[in-house]
Amino acid sequence: MSVEMCSKAFSKQQNLNIHLLTLTKEKPHGCLICCERFSHREDLNKHLMVHTKKKKVYACELCNEAFSQQGDLKRHVLTHTKEKPYVCEICGKAFSWPNKLRSHFLTHTKEKPYVCEICSKTFSRKEHLKKHLLTHLKKKHM
């Protein structure tokens, strides 16, 4: 499976779908309560917790931290085991979290979807934009 726009190829349909959402910036999953939109269904599911305030019934046996979804507990346990099941198909780098793999993938595509509203500088990672914004705050308070 390959993408005509950038000639990238993927062995798994799921990875191709994730890549296409990254390229198109499409957000097909919408919250019916507040209308916020998300590229990935799992991001919408996490967001819905804000509205539903589900009870945290899944507890980690190693540290007692609790979660409202079993999948969140499974991902949390990876922080204890140091397991990294999410592997970049391009360079082989492994991650414990799927969102970290998605963020890493942008380093290969050279895409920089996060834009500073003050100076228009672009970033591939949201945390880099946040760090950059602090430089504007420091300049403002000098």
Mean pLDDT, to the nearest integer, of 50-63? 79
Mean pLDDT, to the nearest integer, of 70-94? 89
The torsion angle over the Cα atoms of residues 123, 125, 128 and 129, rounded to 10 degrees, is 60
pTM over 0.75: no
**Spatial distance between the Cα atoms of 73 and 27, rounded to a whole number of angstroms:** 26
For the chain, how far is it from start to end, CA to CA, in angstroms?
Answer: 53
**Spatial distance between the Cα atoms of 76 and 86, rounded to a whole number of angstroms:** 14
DSSP character at residue 121? -
Its sign, for the CA torsion 11, 13, 14, 15, is positive
Comparing 51 with 85, which gets the higher pLDDT?
85
Confidence at residue 106, expressed as pLDDT on a 0 to 100 scale: 84
Q: What is the pLDDT of residues 5-38, one digit of tens each?
A: 566 777 777 777 777 766 667 788 888 878 888 8
Strands (DSSP E) found in the chain: 29-30, 37-38, 58-59, 66-67, 86-87, 94-95, 114-115, 122-123
For residue 88, what pLDDT band results from cuts at 50, 70 and 90? very high
Give yes or no for residue 1 having a pLDDT over 60: no
Confidence at residue 4, expressed as pLDDT on a 0 to 100 scale: 56
Q: Which domains does the chain have, with CATH numbers?
A: 13-51 (3.30.160.60)
Q: What is the pLDDT of residues 90-130, one digit of tens each?
A: 999 999 888 889 888 888 888 888 899 889 999 888 888 88
Confidence at residue 120, expressed as pLDDT on a 0 to 100 scale: 93
Confidence at residue 5, expressed as pLDDT on a 0 to 100 scale: 56
- The candidate with the shortest Cα–Cα distance to 103, out of 82, 86, 124, is 124
